[in-house]
Amino acid sequence: MTRYPRKHKSLAINGIAIIGFAKEVPFKNKLIALTIGALLAIKGYNVTAGNIKGTFSYAFWSAKIFGAKTLAVIDKGIDKKPAYIDSYIYIPSMIAKHQQVTLVSSAAIIIGGGGRSLHLAQEFIKQGKPIIAIKNTHGIVENEVKLLGIRTCSIFSALHYILLKTSY
């Protein structure tokens, strides 16, 4: 039986945002981001994020290898476009950038993160879009996420939750 690659819809229709650390990414989070990126791609989803470094680079890289499209919404100029990024949207304001990430994403998965990640998570809540955190990934997941009412789960439970909420 011949298998054909799944077509990835427009980034604005089925992109899943990755929220996490831009710097000093724990090794465990790198592995989680690689796994999430690959599994999203295999399921036919694209990957979006508000940065190109750190956690995001791992999710983008693995998603790209497995055929997904990748979109980075950035607020700082970059000198060189990494091969794992298909498209960029440049928005110089962090607040407007977070609003744009929320607009072009169907849901979000939190893999650690700091203050900016918390703000982005709040944008998803404001828009009523599904968001879930992967437990034990440090940063906002350990304290702030629970206060926002965001569920924390294991990697595969989190992915299952997002896929159920965004099925197309």
pLDDT tens digits, residue range 65-115?
A: 999 999 999 987 777 788 889 998 999 899 999 999 999 999 999 999 988
Q: Which residue is associated with the tokens 């998603």?
A: 63
Please state the domain extents for the chain: 11-166
pLDDT score for 168: 56
Which of 128, 165, 158 lies closest to 141 in space, CA to CA?
158
If DSSP codes are grouped into helix, strand and coil, which group holds residue 133? strand
pLDDT of residue 137: 93
Query: pLDDT over 90 for what percent of the chain?
Result: 61
Whether 7 shows a pLDDT value over 50: the answer reads no
pLDDT category of residue 153 using cuts at 50, 70 and 90: confident
The SS3 call for residue 73 is strand
For 116-132, what is the mean pLDDT?
A: 93
Rg (CA), the chain: 14
123 alpha-carbon distance from chain centroid:
14
| Own/partner long-range contacts of 78-81 (Cβ < 8 Å, ≥24 apart) | 78/52
Mean pLDDT on 147-168: 85
Residue 70 tokens read as 């990748």
Pick the CATH number of 11-166 from 1.10.3720.10, 2.102.10.10, 3.40.50.450, 3.30.450.30: 3.40.50.450
pLDDT score for 13: 54
Per-residue pLDDT tens over the stretch 35-63: 999 999 999 999 999 999 999 999 999 99
Measured between its terminal Cα atoms, the distance across the chain in Å is 24
Residue 81 pairs with which residues in a beta bridge? none
Q: Two tokens at 81?
A: 């476009």
